[in-house]
Structure 1
Amino acid sequence: MTTQQQVNQAQYQNKSEAYLNSQVHAQGIEFEKMQNLIQQHQFKRVLDLGCGGGHVTYQIAAFTEQVIAYDITPEMVNLVTTQSQQKGFDHVIGQVGAAEQLDFPVEHFDCVISRYSAHHWQSITQAIHEIYRVLRADGKVILFDIIGNSNPILDTFIQTIETIRDPSHVRNYSLAEWVKIVEQAGFKVETIEKQSLQLNFQSWVERMQTPVESIHTIRYLQSKAADQVRQYYQIQQDGTFTSEAVYLVLSKT
């Protein structure tokens, strides 16, 4: 039986360099917000959950005493630890594991950050409860991810093309879903900030090594989409489109 976690591992083999060099992943106004929050609260021990190419780790490492770069894909973890050593961040530790089962003691981290990872998790509810468990009482969680939509027409479109591009995609949760999930786990939502994210179509599919037939299917769906969908996602002639992302800061209640 193939699990979602195995699908994730298979999808992200041989893609670590693509994510390291991805401009979408390497840039973002959210990095400065993360740095400011860490400095403001003097957080020392931080978990980069679903570290991917390691961009969160590289951005925050200078402001912490320890960063755990954690990902389900060994290749990603190896990349981040190697890059961190080259950048002089000897306090970055790599660890392989799933978000749903964090191998850390209770209240181990001052801060947990997850960026562009949650939409791959096998069980969002279990993962959020694990984050709650390993976060200290006065710690913070920062979540950043592309979000879905409460309008079924808009939501079905984005979930469909995401899955065709990347079979490891589980769900882009809507803002309402996010709030419900984290509050049920015991978190208080302190900050909600939306961002628009333009995704260059060619880079988007190349990064995931999407097969040609799947690319054609996505372009077909884009061409047949209702005006409401085309306008909302700002679909361009070359397939480039805009998604919404959300920056959340959580604390324990």
Structure 2
Amino acid sequence: MSGSPLETAEVWDAVAVGYGEFATAVMRPFAALALEFAALTGESAVVDVAAGTGALTLPAAERAGRVCAVDISPRMLRLLEDAAAAAGLDNIVTDVADARVLPYANRSFDAAFSMFGLMFFPDRYRALGELYRVLRPGGTVVISNWAPICESPLLTLLYEAFREAVPELGEPQQDFLSLENPEVFQSELRQAGFHGVVIQRHSIVTRFADGVELWETMVASSAALQLLRTMWGEEQWSERSDRVREYLDRRYRPNQPLPAIALLGIGHKPQPA
């Protein structure tokens, strides 16, 4: 893949274990919601793009006939395979592949999903085009994306803590050209050819034992934070990380509910006239 370090397998391999333990737990309720929009049966074929460690793939495999899980991170897919084996699921196929060039024939799937992955793609239009291409007419696509930081108490608290360590960050800025803008989200799905597009806002609640656990969990599961750690070097990272941890330890009450908010984009591939 190109440009951004977040498009490389290495950074996601590095956080695969932490991602599987925390990020997947946060994403699992959103994945359950996403699956409700696709009427899966034991005959359904499903593709999960940017599947990670299987937050959506695993429950989809319990309903569908076949699930193809795609990701650029071999290590995440290995963890997914281990989880599938432990659950006795033998209808999952994993493929290390670029979402912009999916290794499947046209009209191969009844449903296509991408949970919190499309936001990292530099060429979303190509990725959406591939999802459209591999869907059968009448098939459903569901894509999730985080809402803006200012709308999510979990992300807001983390950003405030990070500003304590890096004051030059300033106030969080919404990216109006990204999928966190519902109008852009809907427009891009329509431009890719999907019909009946709707964007829905959903929320789940996260809790942590204390601020220290909150920070350590985020560090273990965030590819972006691991990149910063590499860029800053261990000495600067340690100093700034201590400030963030101290801030969260002061501001976060044990087991305080912190909602995390996401947008779900749902569309359908039209039947031929």
Q: Report if TM-score (shorter chain) is over 0.5.
A: yes
- Structure 1 residues 61-140: aligned runs within 5 Å: 61-140=61-140
Cα distance change, pair 104–30 in 1 and its aligned pair in 2 (3 A): same
Q: TM-score, normalised on structure 1?
A: 0.74
Partner residue, 2:194: 187
| Paired residues of 1:5 and 1:122 also in contact (CA < 8 A) | no
Cα distance change, pair 32–198 in 1 and its aligned pair in 2 (3 A): closer
Partner residue, 2:218: 204
Shift of the alpha carbon at 1:29?
Answer: 3.5
- Structure 1 residues 1-253: aligned runs within 5 Å: 3-4=3-4, 7-22=7-22, 24-27=23-26, 28-39=28-39, 44-148=44-148, 173-196=180-203, 200-208=214-222, 210=226, 211=229, 213=236, 216=240, 237-238=251-252, 243-253=260-270
Secondary structure in 2 aligned to 1:249? strand
Query: 1:13 and 1:182 mapped to 2: Cα distance?
Result: 29
| Paired residues of 2:100 and 2:127 also in contact (CA < 8 A) | yes
Query: 1:90 and 1:96 mapped to 2: Cα distance?
Result: 18
Shift of the alpha carbon at 1:115?
Answer: 0.7
Shift of the alpha carbon at 1:118?
Answer: 1.2
Query: 1:197 and 1:214 mapped to 2: Cα distance?
Result: 30
| Paired residues of 1:198 and 1:242 also in contact (CA < 8 A) | yes
For 1:65-90, what per-residue CA distance to the aligned partner results, in whole angstroms no more than 9, with x for missing partners?
10001101111122212221221111
Q: What amino acid sits opposite 1:13 in the alignment?
A: D
Shift of the alpha carbon at 1:173?
Answer: 3.4
Shift of the alpha carbon at 1:148?
Answer: 3.6
| Paired residues of 1:5 and 1:72 also in contact (CA < 8 A) | no
For 1:20-64, what per-residue CA distance to the aligned partner results, in whole angstroms no more than 9, with x for missing partners?
211x42254333334434446666100011011111111111111
Figure out how many residues of one structure are paired with residues of the other and give that number: 226
Q: Which has the higher contact order (CA 8 A, sep 6+)?
A: 2
For 1:121-144, what per-residue CA distance to the aligned partner results, in whole angstroms no more than 9, with x for missing partners?
131111011111111111000111
Shift of the alpha carbon at 1:252?
Answer: 1.9
Q: What amino acid sits opposite 1:52 in the alignment?
A: G
Cα distance change, pair 191–2 in 1 and its aligned pair in 2 (3 A): closer
For 1:202-248, what per-residue CA distance to the aligned partner results, in whole angstroms no more than 9, with x for missing partners?
4222323632746838x78xx9xxxxxxxxxxxx9259975531112
Secondary structure in 1 aligned to 2:184? helix
Partner residue, 1:226: none
Cα distance change, pair 43–246 in 1 and its aligned pair in 2 (3 A): farther
Cα distance change, pair 242–62 in 1 and its aligned pair in 2 (3 A): closer
Q: What amino acid sits opposite 1:146 in the alignment?
A: W
Partner residue, 1:227: none
Q: What amino acid sits opposite 1:25 in the alignment?
A: T
- Give me the CA root mean square deviation: 3.6
Cα distance change, pair 214–115 in 1 and its aligned pair in 2 (3 A): farther
Shift of the alpha carbon at 1:171?
Answer: 5.6
Please identify, of 118-127 and 39-48, the stretch whose mean Cα deviation from structure 2 is larger: 39-48
Q: Please say which structure displays the higher CA radius of gyration.
A: 2
Identical pairs, percent = 19
Cα distance change, pair 250–42 in 1 and its aligned pair in 2 (3 A): farther
Shift of the alpha carbon at 1:183?
Answer: 1.0
